[in-house]
Every structure is written in structure tokens, then in C-alpha cells.
Amino acid sequence: MRKLSAIAALVLAGAATAAEYSKPEVTVSLPGGWVEVPDAVLQQFHDEMKRQAPLANIPKYTYAFQSTDGPPWLTYPYLLVKVTPTGRPTEKELQDLPSIDLNDKFQEKSGDWSNVMKDTSLGKMRYDKAANVVWITSKSEVVGIGEVSGISGIIPTEKGFVELHAYAKTADFPAHFPTFEKIITGAKVAPDLQYKPSWVDVLPGPVSRFDFKQLGFALVVGLAVGVIFSLTRRKQG
């Protein structure tokens, strides 16, 4: 009886330390100690990258969280959330995702990021219909950090995707993976965005015009967001 009481106390303590962040598009539950990265930090990162590469397609991350309070911000491990209003993907498109090579898209633009990362590789996309998540793995050698690994959960919605990208140094990644997986599978999309069956899913051929290879580009850049942000701050200083 005492043992059961002790276990229950530990469970309750863990639940008490967890934090839930509700946004208009998605609600995420994070372990105790995790904090939200200020919007101003994400905006500063995006503005500086657009200034440096005005013709590049710079991903705009909507929210970010990290395991310890900042500054410094965007330190590993961290989670990036990107709301992508592409239009509703069909069931067939989601099932066909494993046939798409995400590495092709990034290799076209890899020269833009060669000063911060190299030897980047992306895993095959895998659509988990039961969980309504598209899973993608990523890995890269990041300057000044070493090898970084990521796991991404792309949640299809009625208007596009809610992307959750989680990263840690590769040496620490196995320890963080269960937490990352729990965060992604526990994310709750807003009711008006929740993916629902549709008659268009039975139509032959794709209906949306979204280039699904863009998903890989956003998650690869996310591998080195912290380093890129740090470098831009140094240049400004």
C-alpha cells in the first residue's frame, strides 16, 4: 500500500511540474523547467536571416521552447513549432510521402548553410495514420556544436500542417527522445484545424499544390537555428 502511495505521489509530482502551453493553433505539454522562447527572439532570427539572404526561402517558425531558461536562447535541446497554412493535404498524399526524397530539396540550397552545417541527412517520411503524424528524422554536423539529431512530427490539419521539430546533440539524443516523442504525440491541434476524412481523398491524383519537400527544408534549418542565431548576435555586437 505504501509502495502504491509512493508511486502515485511521484506521478502527481511529475504532472504538477509539467507545463501546458496553449496557442491558437495547438496546445503542447512540456516537462517541468521548459520555457517558451520569446517571440521577439524568433522574429529577430527571421529578420536577420532575410537580411543576409533576401532571395532565400527562410522558414518562419511560429513558436519555440527550450529545456532551460534563457538567455542564451535557442540552446539544445529545443522545440520549434511551425504553423504552415498550405491547404488541406489529401489522405493519398500523406500515404505517398515515403516516396519523396527530402534530401534532394535541401541539397539544392545546401550552399546557403555550408558555413554552419555539413553532412546533413534526412530520413524517409513515415505517415502514422492512427496518430495523425508524419514522422521525419534528421541529422547534421553543426559548427561549434558537433553532431545534432532531430525528430519531427508533422501534424496534418484542415488548413495545412502544424510542424513540431525537436533537436538535441546526438550524444544526448537517446535520453531526450522519449520526451520529444511524448511532446509530439501529445500535441493537441485546435478543434477547427483537426484533420477529418473528406470526399476529395478518393479522387485520383493530388489535389493540393504544396511542395512536400519544403517540409524537409524547414526541419533541416531548425537543426542549426541556435547556432545561426548566436552568429548573427555576434555580428551585431
Span 59-109, pLDDT tens digits: 889 999 999 998 888 899 999 999 999 888 888 888 887 777 776 666 665
**Taking a C-beta distance cutoff of 8 angstroms, is the pair 63, 23 a contact?**
yes
Q: Rg of the chain over CA atoms, in angstroms?
A: 19
CA distance 18 to 11: 11
Does CATH place domain 18-236 in 3.40.1000.10? yes
Rounded Cα gap, residues 230 and 206, in angstroms: 40
Output the pLDDT for position 77.
95
For position 14, what pLDDT does the model report? 42
Compute the Cα dihedral for 166, 158, 55, 50 and give only its sign: negative
Residue with cell 548573427: 232
* C-alpha to C-alpha distance for 22 and 187, rounded to whole angstroms: 10
pTM: 0.83
What's the pLDDT tens digit per position in 11-21? 334 444 678 99
Would you state the pLDDT for residue 109? 57
Tell me if 158 sits within 8 A of 193, measured CB to CB. Answer: yes
Three-state DSSP class for residue 195: coil
pLDDT confidence of residue 3: 42
Q: Write down the pLDDT at residue 17.
A: 60
18-23: long-range contacts at Cβ-Cβ below 8 A with a sequence spacing of 24 or more?
21/63, 21/65, 23/62, 23/63, 23/81
User: Are 88 and 159 in contact, with CB atoms under 8 Å apart?
Assistant: yes
Strands 146-156 and 133-142, bridge-based pairing: antiparallel
- Among residues 225, 135, 148, the alpha carbon closest in space to that of 184 is found at 135
Q: How far apart are the first and last CA of the chain?
A: 60
- Domain positions in the chain are 18-236
Backbone angles phi, psi at 145, to 5 degrees: -120, -45
Neighbours of 168 (CB within 10 A): 21
Residues of the chain with pLDDT under 70: 1-17, 52-53, 55-56, 103-114, 199-217, 219, 226-237
